[in-house]
Amino acid sequence: MNEQEQRSILTLSLMAAFADGDKDESERGEIKRIADSLAGEGTLDIASLYQDVLLRRVALADVAQSLSSPESRQLAYEMAVCVCDVDDVQSEAERVFLASLRGALGLSTQQVQVHTENAEAIAAIPVSAMAAGATSTMSDGELDKTILNASILNGALELLPESLATMAIIPLQMKLVYRVGKSYGFELDRGHIKDFLATAGVGLTSQFLEQAGRKLLGGLLGAIGGRLLGGVGRQALSSGMSFASTYALGHVAKRYYAGGRVLSTRMLREAFDGVLDEAKGMRAQYLPQMLEKARTLNVTQILDTVRNG
């Protein structure tokens, strides 16, 4: 995939992020931060792409027209669908945007139907259903094991080339927070968990854009027909942030709910940042387990994991 195709796909993903007009200032700030950070991943000026989209200096039809290969058009649409679904089921404005994008890319409904249905299915699952059958109260050791296992699973998903695998990381993080809260007697809903993630500094749309953007710029996203890429060296291009962020969310949630939800916003963010730094240093230790887990996963198993817990 050439640089122009990467630029166009990222531009369309950013347009999808703002399609519903419902991003608050904190999420906008996180998306800008991600755009700035991704600028260091290659030669693209992604910060300027963000400004072009935000100020509506680019037209959807013009960007779509610059994608010449069937593979790049399909990938652009799949990423846009995941961006729209990652924080909730599609709004009417997002459905209108995606219909316009599909037409501009020259894709038929049949070409995108399976991916769209899978993404919508993930977005529609209540967090309580994701954690159905989970033990209500876990010991300290059981919680630690649950957090580590969830971190390894999400680290494995980050290594897969499917955009749907990247999208699945976020509902699995939400499921983990739900399980931790439930273990301490709190029955959480999606709104509360989204607020918890946002307070810790984990935006839903921005996290997907960061992970998928790094895969795209590294030539990993959509590669080799959706199979796991061969060779540890190639996979080391992945940032490992999903392992670290999941681990940090789990342990900060444990601290937060064990203490009766009394941490202030500042304390919660500082706690998350501290555990995140610790978890980044653990990635190499658990990379072999992530690689082994990734080799066993396919799209069907990803959906089952999110649905069934």
Q: Cα 13 from chain centroid?
A: 13
What pLDDT score does 29 carry? 75
Place of tokens 């894709």: 107
Answer with the residue of higher pLDDT: 288 or 41: 288
What pLDDT score does 224 carry? 41
Mean pLDDT for the stretch of residues 291-307: 82
Task: Show the domains of the chain with their CATH numbers.
Answer: 3-122 (1.10.3680), 126-308 (no CATH)
Q: Lowest mean pLDDT of 23-27, 58-62, 183-187, name the range.
A: 23-27
How do residues 254-278 score in pLDDT, each as one tens digit? 999 999 988 888 999 999 999 999 9
Mean pLDDT for the stretch of residues 165-174: 91
CA distance readout (Å), 120 to 90, 115, 200, 282: 7, 9, 26, 33
Answer with the residue of higher pLDDT: 9 or 204: 9
What is the C-alpha separation between 208 and 30, in angstroms, rounded?
11
The amino acid at residue 221 is: L
> What is Dmax (Cα atoms) for the chain?
56
What pLDDT score does 237 carry? 46
Residue pair 210/234 in contact (Cβ under 8 Å)? The answer is no
What pLDDT score does 253 carry? 96
162 pLDDT band, cuts 50/70/90, is confident
Mean pLDDT for the stretch of residues 200-227: 75
Q: Cα 121 from chain centroid?
A: 15
Say if residue 156's pLDDT is above 50.
Answer: yes
What is the C-alpha separation between 273 and 225, in angstroms, rounded?
36
DSSP H stretches of helix in the chain: 3-17, 25-38, 46-54, 60-65, 70-85, 92-105, 109-124, 127-130, 140-158, 163-183, 190-200, 204-217, 232-235, 241-258, 265-280, 283-294, 299-308
Q: How far apart are the first and last CA of the chain?
A: 35
* Average pLDDT in the chain: 85
How do residues 62-106 score in pLDDT, each as one tens digit? 999 999 899 999 999 999 999 999 888 888 999 999 999 999 999
Q: Name 174's Cβ contacts closer than 8 Å, sequence gap at least 6.
A: 127, 130, 190, 193, 194, 197
Say if residue 2's pLDDT is above 90.
Answer: no
40 pLDDT band, cuts 50/70/90, is low
What pLDDT score does 133 carry? 58
134 pLDDT band, cuts 50/70/90, is low
Residue pair 82/163 in contact (Cβ under 8 Å)? The answer is yes
Q: Shortest CA distance to 272 belongs to which of 298, 305, 246? A: 246
What is the C-alpha separation between 258 and 29, in angstroms, rounded?
30
Answer with the residue of higher pLDDT: 23 or 115: 115
